[in-house]
Amino acid sequence: MPRRLSTRIALLAGVLALGGVGTLSFILIREQRNHILAEVVHSSEQVAETIQLSIRHDMLGNRRDGVREVIESVGGHSGIAGVRLFNKEGRISYSSRAAEVGHVVDKQSEACVQCHSASRPFSELDLESRSRVYNHPEHGRVLSTIAVIRNEPGCHPSGCHKSPSVQSVLGVLDVTMSLDSAEARMLVSTRQATMLSLGAVILITGALLILVQQTVRRPINRLIAATQRVAGGDYELQVPSGATDELGFLARSFNEMIESLNTSQQNLEAKVAQKADELRSAQFQVVQAEKLSSVGLVAAGIAHELNSPLMAISTFGHLVQKRLSPGSQESEDVRMILRETDRCAAIIRTLLDFSRDQSTNQALELCDVSAIIDRAVKILQVAMRANAVDTSVSIAPDTPPVEANSVQITQVLVNLLLNAIQAMPTGGRITIRLDGVARSDYPQVKMPPPLRTQLVRLRVADTGSGIPRELLSKVFDPFFTTKPVGQGSGLGLSVSHAIIQRHRGVILVESDGRSGTEFTVLLPAAEPTSGVVQS
């Protein structure tokens, strides 16, 4: 059975058409056969009448040879299987076949039983009842028609018959016609009707196939292709729906479903993106907790050990400052010492906050990163001169501010600068660049949510020996350092990394292991406000 709906519809219609045309053809063929048979019957009746007229005068004159000659002559014509004349008792008096003369016909034979089984006498039978079709042993299918020869008043004077009042029927004339020609005509008519019927069925089925192809199959194929594309994730597809029938209604319903799916998909994607941001934030927190769980123990000890000497430095620094003249160089130096002492205390507090994950309690303010760069460079200018390190600072004029804790950002920049100085023990150059970039410039970088479209980029590059590539993935791990023992704790970059993450930014490192290292800090730009803190 064909699997396509359009083909099944066309074939079903073709079968119905075949049944209808076949029934009509059968009726027409039957009527044609009856018509041809009626023509043969009518012809046989005419032949019988012609014979009666031809032998009438011979019979009135009792001239038997003339009657025999007429019957034999007519019986020899093409299409006539035989002519015979027998009396009322059934004895054959004359026949085109001489061997039959004198024999009595069998009333129960196929050629006679129809007439003899009738409820009425021969003289009262109509033409159709006096005609019968049967199989002749020599001529095949034949049609015989009998005609009654009545006893007319002119026959009695001849002395061979009784008077009409006593004997009304003298005999029966039986004319047998061959049906070969009629059967051939009927066979030709049957073949023609069959061929016409098959041609009509083929035309009807072909027309239905084309009609179904245009009105059913193509719209259904478009819907199937559309469903496959929708299954592949294409929710922008629209199926033509101009038709006003059921398929047009189905196409419009399909388009409405696609619009609904598209809306649902967009809503789902928005929810998935929101949940992904939440999951990413939680992941950052988990990673941070795993990496720095050991820092908390060390940070508590460091804070206890450093707070006492820092307090002593701060106390004696204030006592010394009171003894110095205001505005003198010595007073300014002591003020620098006190300021750095306070910064060290702030760094210790930051380290404790870092280990205790108190990022939600940090004080944020609008900061101008260029001011933080100036401050960090001044703090380390003595170390830079001592190590023969030059500094180059490039700040883009349109760099936006950031919302951050200025002390923590300063700590990050100081750590990066110190690492650069220590990477160039024989001298070198540090390049500091600050500018604003679009978030799309770093599509592969994952940043903590919420994401901003504008970023502030701070880059610190040195001309030192660089970091081997195989170690780049470990530089932000706690207590990891490439410096000799006693020259670094391995916490500087780890603390800086955590600080930048708390500010919803990232810190990146690039190095070829031969010609220096560059650290890139990306922070989300602050929303436009009225004031910026000059740290």
* 442 inside domain: yes
Q: Work out the number of other CB atoms within 10 angstroms of the CB of residue 64.
A: 14
* 252 inside domain: no
More confident residue, 305 or 369: 369
Report the CATH number that the domain containing residue 446 is assigned in CATH. 3.30.565.10
pLDDT for residue 522: 93
Question: 203-230 burial, b if ≥16 CB within 10 A, otherwise e?
Answer: ebbeebbeebeeebbebbebeeebeeeb
Out of 124, 154, 185, a domain closes at 185
273 — pLDDT class (breaks 50, 70, 90): confident
Out of 167, 185, 203, a domain closes at 185
Q: In what order do the strands lie in the sheet with 140-150?
A: 92-95, 80-87, 169-178, 140-150, 131-136
Write the pLDDT tens digit of every residue in 416-427: 998 888 888 888
Average pLDDT taken over every residue of the chain: 76
360 — pLDDT class (breaks 50, 70, 90): very low
Residue 297 has pLDDT above 90, yes or no: no
Of the candidates 467, 138, 131, 493, which has an alpha carbon nearest to the alpha carbon of residue 295?
493
pLDDT for residue 486: 42
SS (H, E, C) 159-191: CCCCCCCCCCEEEEEEEEEECHHHHHHHHHHHH
More confident residue, 465 or 402: 402
Write the pLDDT tens digit of every residue in 33-68: 788 778 878 888 888 788 878 877 777 777 778 878
Number of domains the chain is built from:
2
Of the candidates 461, 436, 451, 459, which has an alpha carbon nearest to the alpha carbon of residue 504?
451
Give the Cα separation of 63 and 57 in Å (integer). 8
Residue 278 has pLDDT above 80, yes or no: no
* 434 inside domain: yes
Handedness of CA 497, 500, 502, 505 (dihedral sign): negative
Residue 80 has pLDDT above 70, yes or no: yes
Both tokens of 207, joined, read 């027309």
pLDDT for residue 122: 52
Of the candidates 228, 248, 89, 111, which has an alpha carbon nearest to the alpha carbon of residue 175?
111
Residue range 246-253: mean pLDDT, rounded: 70
187 — pLDDT class (breaks 50, 70, 90): confident
Residue range 404-419: mean pLDDT, rounded: 89
pLDDT for residue 113: 44
Amino acid found at 155: C
* 427 inside domain: yes
Out of 152, 185, 218, a domain closes at 185
* 395 inside domain: yes
What totals of helices (H) and strands (E) does the chain contain, helices first? 12, 12
Task: Give me the helices (H) in 117-245, please.
Answer: 180-212, 218-231
390 — pLDDT class (breaks 50, 70, 90): very high
Strand pairing class (454-462; 428-438): antiparallel
The residues near 125 (Cβ < 8 Å, ≥ 6 apart) are 115, 118
More confident residue, 288 or 189: 189
The residues near 176 (Cβ < 8 Å, ≥ 6 apart) are 80, 81, 82, 83, 136, 139, 142, 143, 144
Residue range 432-446: mean pLDDT, rounded: 89
Calculate the alpha carbon distances from 113 to 128, 130, 131 in Å: 15, 11, 11
450 prior amide bond cis, ω within 30: yes
User: What is the chain's alpha carbon radius of gyration, rounded to the nearest angstrom?
Assistant: 62
pLDDT for residue 22: 77
Most confidently predicted of 11-25, 152-166, 169-183, 402-416: 402-416
The answer to which of 289-303, 356-370, 397-411 has the lowest mean pLDDT is: 289-303
Of the candidates 497, 504, 375, which has an alpha carbon nearest to the alpha carbon of residue 446?
504
Local structure of 141: helix, strand or coil: strand
pLDDT for residue 68: 80
Angle between helix axes 218-231 and 246-291 (nearest 10 degrees) is 10
Give the Cα separation of 437 and 483 in Å (integer). 33
Q: Work out the number of other CB atoms within 10 angstroms of the CB of residue 147.
A: 21
Calculate the alpha carbon distances from 27 to 20, 37, 182, 188 in Å: 11, 15, 18, 16
Local structure of 237: helix, strand or coil: coil
Local structure of 24: helix, strand or coil: helix
* 276 inside domain: no
The answer to which of 226-235, 427-436, 490-499 has the lowest mean pLDDT is: 226-235
Local structure of 5: helix, strand or coil: helix
Residue span of the structural domain in which 446 resides: 362-535
Tell me the Ramachandran region of residue 504: left when phi exceeds 0, alpha when psi lies from -120 to 50, beta otherwise: left
Residue 282 has pLDDT above 90, yes or no: no
More confident residue, 409 or 154: 409
Both tokens of 491, joined, read 């916490």
461 — pLDDT class (breaks 50, 70, 90): very high
Give the Cα separation of 67 and 52 in Å (integer). 10
Give the Cα separation of 479 and 495 in Å (integer). 10
Report the CATH number that the domain containing residue 149 is assigned in CATH. 3.30.450.20
Residue 88 has pLDDT above 80, yes or no: no
* 114 inside domain: yes
Give the Cα separation of 440 and 57 in Å (integer). 128
Question: 490-528 burial, b if ≥16 CB within 10 A, otherwise e?
Answer: ebbbbbbbbbbbbbbbbbebebeeeebbbbbbbbbbbee
Residue 435 has pLDDT above 90, yes or no: yes
Residue 364 has pLDDT above 80, yes or no: yes
Residue range 68-96: mean pLDDT, rounded: 80
pLDDT for residue 370: 92
Q: Is 175 exposed, middle or buried (0-12, 13-18, 19+ CB in 10 A)?
A: buried
pLDDT for residue 483: 61
* 204 inside domain: no
Q: What percent of the chain has pLDDT over 90?
A: 9
Write the pLDDT tens digit of every residue in 21-35: 778 878 888 887 788
